[in-house]
Amino acid sequence: MPVAARSAGLLLLPALLLTLCVGMDWFEPWFALIETDSRTLIYGRDSFLALLLSHCTLVLLSSALAALVGIAMGILVTRPSGRDFLPFVSQLASVGQTFPPVAVLALAVPLLGFGTLPTLVALFLYGLLPIVRNCIAGLDGISASVREAARGMGMSPLQILRQVELPLAAAVILAGVRTSVTLNIATAALGSTVGARTLGDPIIAGLINGNVAYVLQGAILVGLLALATDQLFDALQRRLDVRR
């Protein structure tokens, strides 16, 4: 595919997402065909753009923290001195996905209160496992002969990690981050049940009031955000492959 066509395709979904956030009122006649019994067809308790920014901030913070901790854990257990911790780290990372996010939120609210903080905790735990697994798989997948060659060149263990192992494992680690972020974009909508401002607000309001139009508006925006983000990661992975 030509570069220009790829660039245009990369901008299409974000442009559509922003268009819907700013001009959802333009599509009111279409929602009127779906929700005929409601006087209010467009969710108006908060602007969609504000909800999008809040939703992205939650995902960005939780995913950045999960990536930082997950990669650090992956590096730790792939070192000779940390191999004994591999079962413990794997089980610890699995806890976040063993419990459903709703259960994590329910347990976090009594300790952290309502709002953003329990949602961040739930998203962090839920997004940790794919990053840890892929980091371990990427680092363990490097041939021992490559490490031996690096040692033969006089590199220190830290230099081997930074200049050899992490660059070679970068594509696999990025795939784990991609999975984690995509999962968290969908899961973040549940934060609206505990008072966080997310694109789940119109979905929850629609379910409570029986307004299908609200539910569709929230679901479409969450879906477009997930697709646009996944498309961005796909472009990053292709760029990384070319550089390699």
Q: What is residue 28's predicted lDDT score, i.e. its pLDDT?
A: 84
pLDDT at residue 126 is higher than 60? yes
Whole-number mean pLDDT of the chain?
A: 86
Q: What is residue 48's predicted lDDT score, i.e. its pLDDT?
A: 93
pLDDT at residue 104 is higher than 80? no
Total structural domains in the chain?
1
Whole-number percent of the chain with pLDDT over 90: 33
pLDDT tens-digit series, residues 207-226: 988 888 999 999 999 999 99
Average pLDDT over residues 131-138: 90
Q: What is residue 3's predicted lDDT score, i.e. its pLDDT?
A: 54
* pTM of the predicted protein model: 0.86
pLDDT at residue 4 is higher than 80? no
The answer to whether 203 touches 158, Cβ cutoff 8 Å, is no
Q: What is residue 85's predicted lDDT score, i.e. its pLDDT?
A: 83
215: CB partners within 8 A, 6+ apart: 202, 203, 206, 207
Which CATH number do you get for residue 60?
A: 1.10.3720.10
The answer to whether 164 touches 155, Cβ cutoff 8 Å, is yes
Sequence-ordered alpha helix ranges (H) in the chain = 3-23, 28-34, 48-77, 86-98, 101-112, 116-140, 144-152, 157-160, 166-187, 201-209, 212-243
Q: pLDDT-based confidence at 35, cuts 50/70/90? A: confident
Supply the range of the domain harboring residue 29. 3-243
Q: pLDDT-based confidence at 7, cuts 50/70/90? A: low
pLDDT at residue 44 is higher than 80? yes
The answer to whether 18 touches 236, Cβ cutoff 8 Å, is no
Q: What is residue 111's predicted lDDT score, i.e. its pLDDT?
A: 80
Least confident range of 18-22, 95-99, 106-110, 139-143: 95-99
Average pLDDT over residues 95-124: 79
Least confident range of 10-19, 60-69, 214-223: 10-19
Regarding predicted confidence, which is higher, 75 or 98?
Answer: 75
pLDDT at residue 142 is higher than 60? yes
